[in-house]
Amino acid sequence: MKRQMIHVLFWTTVLSCVFYSCTKDVGINPLIAYSDKALFDSCRNEKAFAYYQNNPGTVYSGTNGPHGAFKLKFNKIALTALTDNGKLPAGSIFPNGSMVVKEVQHNGQYAFMYKRAGSWLWAEINADGSVAYSVNKDAGAGCINCHSQTGHRDLVVSFNFY
């Protein structure tokens, strides 16, 4: 009898744990959504973005930066911060969840910024998915030095040139 009680108690505990784990609201590691791979996948989701000034055919020269010629696009959250002329007003900031993507034309690379918790995550992902510059790196000298140019548009300097 005692053995049967232990057996029932064991299986009740196991089943309770299984049912509880299936009802969690948060995934095992929510930070995966901010990984290089996840953000790269987001960059390639054409339905989630609009091209700069609604023109997917425009290629910008890129002569003012290290990326070369590019197409520029914004996710829907970033678009809410832009004015009628398609620019972020000087002194304004993008809301959290904003994503700004440069599609580099000569190599198919995606150079992007993703706004999370008031700060930008920066990355450059090659066309094949390999990581050239990871969101896990400190963007200090690699990105922010160039992006801190005058214009005060939340570190997005394309508005200064195009």
Three-state DSSP state, 62: coil
> How distant is the alpha carbon of residue 117 from its chain centre?
12
Provide the 10 A C-beta neighbour count for residue 162: 16
**C-beta separation of 123 from 139 below 8 A:** no
- Identify the pLDDT of residue 24: 43
Residue 137, C-beta contacts closer than 8 angstroms, at least 6 positions apart: 122
β-bridge pairing 131-133 and 70-75: unpaired
pLDDT per position as a tens digit, 73-96: 999 999 999 998 889 998 999 999
User: For residue 61, what are the CA distances in angstroms to 36, 40, 45, 69, 74?
Assistant: 26, 23, 24, 4, 18
pLDDT per position as a tens digit, 105-159: 999 999 999 999 999 999 999 999 999 999 998 776 678 888 887 778 999 988 8
- The residue with tokens 């339905």 is 47
- Identify the pLDDT of residue 161: 87
Domain residue spans of the chain: 30-161
Residue 152, C-beta contacts closer than 8 angstroms, at least 6 positions apart: 90, 91
- Identify the pLDDT of residue 25: 46
- Identify the pLDDT of residue 6: 63
pTM: 0.79
